[in-house]
A and B are shown apart, each in its own frame.
Chain A
């Protein structure tokens, strides 16, 4: 018989005998399923967090921060600086020939999580009148816009879903008394709808602030950032850094991002190591239980490599079964779950995101499962192929 035919025959025989050693075979399946489910969970938390942070970054938008500031909330931009930046070249204009940009103040508003009623902060962003023009992905979902001069808020859809007291008509206690939620907004794939927004100047007068923290502008084209940067660097009174939005967002929330990454990779690799031992254990037992059978096959002319490949194939198939089980568990248990954690625009404000398992995460997990199956099968396969026929048969 040719090798492929031999492999097929031995593998089929192996698989037919699985019911007789079910417990042992299930060890691989359950072990791999556990790793795959946990790995998908931790990777999804990390990948979706990063995707949400960087979600709506557009190369034709620029973020302007005071020089040296690495986050949106820590520095201040005076009204003069904001005016000078708005008049600089490279910025897109609307139909009324006004440059499109939004100078913003970043604060936090205390809210309670719906799940456990614990106190957390959401980002309160005071925005300019052109906020929605600059961010066309965001839309008013219900209610109406806030009116400048009134203490009114718009709540982001994700924030409203996760935290109590952000429905239309609710009052939020901020500086200078209660602010009323008059509408909700949503859209985009990013972190913006984890926030509540209000009119920047109204917020500044209530908080007695005389400077903005950050500003965003819409560029004529992604390439226009060079001329904007050049123009701003020529004016020595302007101490600002200009960054394209995707570039800025890549550095935002680096701390939580790194933490989730570390958790994902360390939890994933420790679990993978454990599952590898389990797979090895399971396949070694499987081979040991069939010493006589394997020796008989070899005695009647099956080649050692056919035996080895069939053991590997069995390990791979069991691991794949485990992977399918793990993926199913992961999907059922938490796909679509909305969670909130640190990661908002301010160091202690919340970012809300929903866990959606991506294809690449699933593929990574399945790939790992296959690797585990193969690695777990290699040593037992070699052992099976190398065993001395005479000794094995003698044992019985």
Chain B
């Protein structure tokens, strides 16, 4: 701490240069923080996804739905705690113009919400669904979109034919449910499977997917295989995945885009290393005589060197921290288009470590020249 004023004075010897270099570092770490935050967002989504929750879908998408009778067979597999089915309902509200499509999941709400930790629902809403077969739970976003409120009865026109020959399905909105992570983009409803299945003409007694919770997450793969074997060699072969596997799959879909994030980060780091390395080189080079004076009054080589390195750190770390902080503030702005960007403490730490590394690397070359120079030579340059 004793040396802080000395370091500080060193930095402010050429204020324009130091400030501009610092601004370079701030912008570079703003960008690095955001890009690394994108990667961290994916990693977190994968890490947080449950390993004990499985989803069974038809192996080939769009394939024939699975018979609901399989529910009991799945339930009987050792290790399966709870299971529920889901079918899909789609309809349009009012004048069938653009953007008035309503999607609803037909399921057994009481079990479904236990198996989908990403969704929240109140006990009252669940009870209301139990008491009203034609009930619907809607997300607040959906309610707002159509100007609906709890208590309304809404009629949706669907391609799904009803047993009475009409295609108009009426549901009463009995409560709400919402997505924990992304309420702004959650536009859907939940309806009772039993109601849909009783009145639909086609695909009766089938489900498009099953959701399961298993007792031991470590047995996820074996249990998934056991479930898939029920449907093997049928017209509706299935593929069961844990939520975690599914999150991994989704991240991979972005494909080469992630590779390019890394390429950009590499380019930014290289450019930054060059720019700031030049500043450090100039700064130390200009002050060789000053360092020589320090040596002449008895400072050891090691101490002079550590002063040079400490100054480099002082130049890098605060702007890097500021850049990462800005990245943290900016991250939510991109949520809707890019997804979750997480500038977590871990991202910040790796960013700062990176800054320290750049500081050391940038100062190493001029500092080594400094330590090799004899006091006499150094002073003569004055």
* A contact set with B: CB distance below 8 Å: 23-24, 26-27, 30-31, 33-35, 37-38, 41-42, 45, 66-70, 74-76, 107-110, 113, 115, 118-121, 173-176, 207-209, 211, 239, 241, 255, 258-260, 262-263, 266-267, 270-271, 273-275, 277-278, 280-281, 284-285, 288, 333, 339-342, 348, 350
Given contacts A174-B60, A278-B275, contact A23 B27 (CB under 8 A): no
B268-312 vs A, Cβ < 8 Å mask (1 yes, 0 no): 101110110011011000000000000000000000000000000
Q: Is the interface of B mostly helix, strand, loop or mixed?
A: helix
A341: which B residues are within 8 A, CB to CB?
253-257
Can you list 7 pairs linking A and B with CB atoms under 8 Å apart? A41-B260, A41-B264, A175-B60, A208-B64, A267-B31, A270-B31, A274-B272
Contact B253 A348, beta carbon cutoff 8 Å: yes
Report how many residues on chain B are interfacial, defined by Cβ distance under 8 Å: 55
A115: which B residues are within 8 A, CB to CB?
256
B69 within 8 A of A: no
Given contacts A68-B96, A274-B31, contact A207 B63 (CB under 8 A): yes
A270: which B residues are within 8 A, CB to CB?
27, 30-31, 34
Residue from B21, B30, B96 within 8 A of A281 (CB atoms): B21
Residue from B23, B62, B282, B334 within 8 A of A175 (CB atoms): B62
Bound-state Cα–Cα, A255 to B100, Å: 18
Given contacts A208-B235, A259-B337, A288-B14, 5 further A-B contacts (CB under 8 A): A30-B271, A66-B159, A76-B159, A274-B31, A274-B272
Contact B62 A207, beta carbon cutoff 8 Å: yes
Given contacts A23-B278, A107-B61, A173-B60, contact A284 B264 (CB under 8 A): no
Bound-state Cα–Cα, A175 to B58, Å: 9
B239-258 vs A, Cβ < 8 Å mask (1 yes, 0 no): 00000000001101111110
Contact B17 A284, beta carbon cutoff 8 Å: yes
Q: Which of B249, B253, B268 has the most CB of A within 10 A?
A: B253
Q: Which of A41, A175, A340 has the most CB of B within 10 A?
A: A175
Contact A30 B274, beta carbon cutoff 8 Å: yes
Contact A262 B267, beta carbon cutoff 8 Å: no
Given contacts A271-B31, A274-B28, contact A42 B264 (CB under 8 A): yes
Contact B60 A350, beta carbon cutoff 8 Å: no
**CB-CB nearest in chain B for A213:** B62
Q: Report the 4 A-B pairs with minimum CB-CB distance, sorted nearest first.
A: A34-B271, A274-B27, A339-B256, A281-B20
B85 within 8 A of A: no
B75 within 8 A of A: no
